[in-house]
């Protein structure tokens, strides 16, 4: 399964697919107990949050099989934390930066993640430089204050 399909799977199936206003991050490579996985964080928001341009930090995250993308576990950050970011502040999601959110841009980014995953699956090798290129592409379209969560969850 390719990374783009896995990302769509995360968005549709996190929390059993319930319809609560939330956003799911792009997948990152996560390492735990000697194994590589895919992971994604989830944050919830209200209409007021979007209007104010500030949201709370992520309060859920998921771990998935690196090959199939099947969600293995979902965590609330109160039970298992992935970041030391405070909960008592809102994070600015407004930006004057120009983002490239085109299909072509994300197709390229996910192709890089596909390559990273393939090397882990077939050879058991993780190429940090190639992965960092993917991460940089993804974070280029994320407001600055929220980029830390990608770094915190990532290998």
In the chain, where the domains are located: 3-153
User: For a pLDDT cut of 90, what percent of the chain falls above it?
Assistant: 90
**pLDDT higher than 90, residue 15:** no
pLDDT bin (cut points 50, 70, 90) of residue 81 is very high
Tens digit of each residue's pLDDT (9 = 90 or more) over 86-117 = 999 999 998 888 899 999 999 999 999 999 99
Give the containing element (helix H, strand E) for 73. strand 71-76
Calculate the average pLDDT of the chain. Answer: 95
- The DSSP result for 11-65, as a single string, is HHHGGGG---SEEEPPPEEEEETTEEEEEEEEEE--HHHHHHTEEPPP-EEEEEE
Q: Which single residue is written with the structure tokens 């974070």?
A: 139
Q: Is the pLDDT of residue 50 over 90?
A: yes
- Alpha-carbon span 148 to 145, nearest angstrom: 7
DSSP assignment of 60-72: EEEEEETTT--EE
pLDDT bracket for residue 118 (50, 70, 90) = very high
């Amino acid at each position: 399964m390719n990374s783009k399909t896995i990302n769509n799977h995360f968005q549709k199936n996190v929390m059993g697919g319930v319809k609560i206003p939330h956003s799911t991050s792009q997948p990152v490579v996560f390492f735990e107990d000697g194994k590589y996985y895919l992971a994604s964080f989830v944050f919830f928001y209200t209409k007021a949050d979007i209007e104010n341009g500030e949201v709370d930090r992520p309060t859920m995250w998921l771990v998935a099989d690196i090959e199939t993308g099947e969600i293995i576990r979902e965590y609330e950050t109160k039970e298992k934390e992935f970041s030391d970011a405070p909960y008592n502040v809102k994070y600015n999601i407004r930006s004057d930066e120009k983002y490239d959110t085109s299909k072509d841009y994300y197709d390229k980014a996910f192709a890089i993640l596909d390559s990273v995953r393939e090397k882990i699956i077939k050879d058991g090798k993780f190429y940090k430089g190639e992965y960092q290129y993917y991460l940089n592409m993804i974070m280029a379209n994320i407001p600055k204050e929220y980029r830390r969560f990608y770094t915190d969850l990532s290998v």
